[in-house]
C-alpha cells in the first residue's frame, strides 16, 4: 500500500545538517518519515541547494529575492526584520514566493495532509489549500505573541479558521489561539534530541552555558548583568544574532569570564553541554510582545542532565518543576537571577539532583515521543 504524503511548509531549516541552524523542523520531519513520504518546502538560504534529498526527506527551497540580498529567511525572520530595513523589504517577496511555491508543490506532491510551521507566513500561504487537504498549523511563539496589530490578527484568525488543528508550545499559547477562534488546539511542543554527555569534573569556577539566538527575547543582557554579582563563574554564550555587538559591550567589563562561541553544530554544542555545570535560559518578553514558547535548547540542556535555571514564563514553567527539575526566576530580574545562580553554584549535590530530575522530565519532550504524537495527529486529521 502506498504511504500517505505530507507537505511540510516552514521558514527555518538547516542548509546542512549540523550547521547550527535550529533543526526542530528537520527533526520532526525525520520522525514523520517513519509513516509518511515527506516533502519540506522552505525559503532559499545561502549555501543550500534548490532541491535535495535529506535522508528520507525531499527538501525544496524556493527563491524569493535577488541572490545577493536574499537574507531575511537566514535565521529568525522577525528579528532579521527588526535589525535591518533591507531585510524588511524582502518580506513581501518571501510571502509571494512561498504562496506560489506551496501551490506548485501541492500540484506536484498531491499531499494527503499539509503541516505549516508558523501561522505567518506559512499558514497564510497554505490556508486556501485546506479545502483540498487537511491543514495542521504549528505556532512556535513569535508569530502568535508578536504581530498583534489589526492586520496581523486578521491574518491569524483566517489561518486558525482554516486549520483542522493548531498545535502550540504551552497552555498560554493555547488560550491565545482559542481567542482567535481556534476550536481544536493542542499543546504539542517541538521535540529535542538528547546527547549522551559525560559532565566534566566539578573543579574551579562554576561554568555557565546559555544557548539561543542573540535577540532581545532571550534576555542575555539580563544574564550579563546578573553575572556581575556572581564573581566566581564563567559564561559561554552559544548563538549569533543582531544583538551580538551590544552584548559584547555589556560583557567587556567582565573580562575573560564571558565567551561568545557563535553558532555551533550539534557535536560542538554537545561538547559545551559536557563542559558546563549550569545552563541558564533568561528569556523575557520583548518590546514587540514576542517571547519564547518553549526553547528546544532548554529541553536539550535538561535532557543532557544539566541543572537548569530559567525564567518563570509560560512554557518554560510547564517543562520545569521549580526546585525539582530546575529553578525558575522572575523574567528580566538580574538580582533574582544572580541569587539563583549563586545558590545552585554553591551546592554541587543540589546541582546533581536538579540535573538528574531534569533528565527524567525531559524524556516527555524527546523528539521520538513528540514525533510519535505528531504522526498520530496527522493520521487523525486525514480521517
Collapsed DSSP state (helix, strand, coil) of residue 91: helix
**Residue 322 backbone phi and psi in degrees, to 5:** -55, 125
DSSP 38-56: EEEEEE--TT--SEEEETT
How does pLDDT run across 89-129, given as a tens digit for each residue? 888 899 999 999 999 999 999 999 999 999 999 999 999 99
C-alpha cell at 248: 559584547
Q: Do domains 5-190+367-382 and 206-364 have the same CATH topology?
A: yes
Strand residue runs (E) in 219-312? 233-238, 258-262, 278-281, 307-311
Strand residue runs (E) in the chain? 5-9, 37-43, 51-54, 57-62, 113-117, 135-138, 165-168, 185-187, 206-211, 233-238, 258-262, 278-281, 307-311, 327-329
Residue 289 has what pLDDT? Answer: 85
How does pLDDT run across 211-222, given as a tens digit for each residue? 999 999 999 999
Question: How do 57-62 and 51-54 pair as beta strands?
Answer: antiparallel
For residues 164 and 239, the answer to whether their CB atoms sit within 8 Å is no
Task: Compute the distance between CA of residue 353 and CA of residue 303 in angstroms, rounded to an integer.
Answer: 13
Residue 158 has what pLDDT? Answer: 97
Q: Which fold has domain 5-190+367-382?
A: Rossmann fold (3.40.50)
**CA 262, chain centre distance (Å):** 17
- Average of pLDDT values for 251-259? 93
Residue 358 has what pLDDT? Answer: 96
Residue 203 has what pLDDT? Answer: 64
pLDDT band at residue 84, thresholds of 50, 70 and 90?
Answer: confident
Question: How large a percentage of the chain has pLDDT more than 70?
Answer: 97
Range in 16-30, 79-93, 105-119 with the lowest mean pLDDT: 79-93
Q: What is the residue whose three cell numbers read 501541492?
A: 106
Q: Where exactly are the structural domains of the chain?
A: 5-190+367-382, 206-364
C-alpha cell at 367: 523528539
DSSP assignment letter at 121: I
Q: pTM of the entire structure?
A: 0.90
If residue 67 lies in a helix (H) or strand (E), which one and from where to where? none
- Average of pLDDT values for 134-159? 90
Instruction: Choose between 205 and 224: higher pLDDT.
Output: 224
Task: Compute the distance between CA of residue 126 and CA of residue 138 in angstroms, rounded to an integer.
Answer: 12
Instruction: Choose between 265 and 160: higher pLDDT.
Output: 160
pLDDT band at residue 199, thresholds of 50, 70 and 90?
Answer: low
Strand residue runs (E) in 285-354? 307-311, 327-329
- Average of pLDDT values for 143-159? 88
For the structural domain made of 206-364, what CATH number should be given?
3.40.50.2000
**Residue 35 backbone phi and psi in degrees, to 5:** -125, -15
Residue 73 has pLDDT above 80, yes or no: no
For residues 150 and 121, the answer to whether their CB atoms sit within 8 Å is no
Order of strands across the sheet with 258-262?
A: 258-262, 233-238, 206-211, 278-281, 307-311, 327-329
For residues 152 and 120, the answer to whether their CB atoms sit within 8 Å is yes
**CA triple 96-102-103, angle to 5 deg:** 95
Mean pLDDT of the chain: 92
For residues 43 and 65, the answer to whether their CB atoms sit within 8 Å is no
Residue 122 has what pLDDT? Answer: 95
For residues 374 and 188, the answer to whether their CB atoms sit within 8 Å is yes
Question: How large a percentage of the chain has pLDDT more than 90?
Answer: 76
**CA triple 156-106-143, angle to 5 deg:** 20
Residue 279 has what pLDDT? Answer: 96
How does pLDDT run across 278-302, given as a tens digit for each residue? 999 999 998 888 889 999 999 999 9
Instruction: Choose between 67 and 273: higher pLDDT.
Output: 273
Instruction: Choose between 186 and 141: higher pLDDT.
Output: 186
Amino acid at each position: 500500500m502506498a504511504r500517505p504524503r505530507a507537505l511540510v511548509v516552514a521558514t527555518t531549516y538547516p542548509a546542512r545538517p549540523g550547521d547550527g541552524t535550529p533543526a526542530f523542523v528537520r527533526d520532526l520531519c525525520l520522525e514523520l518519515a517513519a509513516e509518511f513520504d515527506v516533502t519540506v518546502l522552505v525559503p532559499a538560504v545561502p549555501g543550500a541547494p534548490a532541491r535535495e534529498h535529506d535522508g528520507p526527506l525531499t527538501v525544496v527551497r524556493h527563491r524569493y529575492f535577488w541572490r545577493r540580498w536574499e537574507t531575511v529567511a537566514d535565521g529568525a525572520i522577525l528579528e532579521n526584520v527588526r535589525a535591518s530595513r533591507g531585510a524588511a523589504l524582502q518580506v513581501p517577496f518571501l510571502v509571494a514566493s512561498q504562496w506560489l511555491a506551496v501551490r506548485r508543490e501541492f500540484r506536484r506532491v498531491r499531499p494527503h495532509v499539509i503541516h505549516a510551521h508558523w501561522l505567518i507566513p506559512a499558514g497564510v500561504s497554505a490556508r486556501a489549500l485546506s479545502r483540498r487537504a487537511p491543514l495542521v498549523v504549528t505556532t512556535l511563539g513569535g508569530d502568535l505573541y508578536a504581530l498583534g496589530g489589526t492586520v496581523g490578527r486578521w491574518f491569524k484568525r483566517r489561518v486558525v479558521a482554516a486549520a483542522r488543528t493548531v498545535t502550540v508550545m504551552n497552555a498560554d499559547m493555547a488560550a491565545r489561539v482559542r481567542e482567535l477562534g481556534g476550536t481544536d488546539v493542542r499543546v504539542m511542543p517541538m521535540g529535542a534530541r538528547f546527547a549522551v554527555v559525560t559532565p566534566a569534573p566539578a573543579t574551579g569556577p562554576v561554568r555557565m552555558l546559555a544557548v539561543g539566538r542573540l535577540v532581545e527575547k532571550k534576555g542575555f543582557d539580563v544574564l550579563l548583568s546578573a553575572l556581575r554579582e556572581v564573581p566566581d563563574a564563567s559564561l559561554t554564550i552559544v548563538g549569533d544574532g543582531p544583538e551580538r555587538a551590544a552584548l559584547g559591550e555589556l560583557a567587556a567589563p567582565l573580562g575573560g569570564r564571558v565567551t561568545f562561541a557563535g553558532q555551533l553544530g550539534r557535536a560542538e554544542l554537545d561538547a559545551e553541554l559536557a563542559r558546563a555545570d549550569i545552563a541558564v535560559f533568561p528569556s523575557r518578553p520583548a518590546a514587540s510582545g514576542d517571547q519564547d514558547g518553549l526553547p528546544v535548547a532548554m529541553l536539550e540542556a535538561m535532557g543532557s542532565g544539566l541543572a537548569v535555571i530559567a525564567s518563570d514564563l509560560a512554557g518554560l514553567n510547564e517543562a520545569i518543576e521549580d526546585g525539582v527539575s530546575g529553578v525558575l526566576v522572575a523574567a528580566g530580574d538580574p538580582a533574582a537571577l544572580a541569587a539563583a545562580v549563586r545558590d545552585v553554584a554553591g551546592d554541587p549535590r543540589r546541582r546533581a539532583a536538579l540535573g538528574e530530575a531534569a533528565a527524567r522530565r525531559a524524556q516527555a519532550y524527546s523528539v521520538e515521543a513528540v514525533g510519535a504524537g505528531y504522526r498520530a495527529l496527522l493520521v487523525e486529521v486525514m480521517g
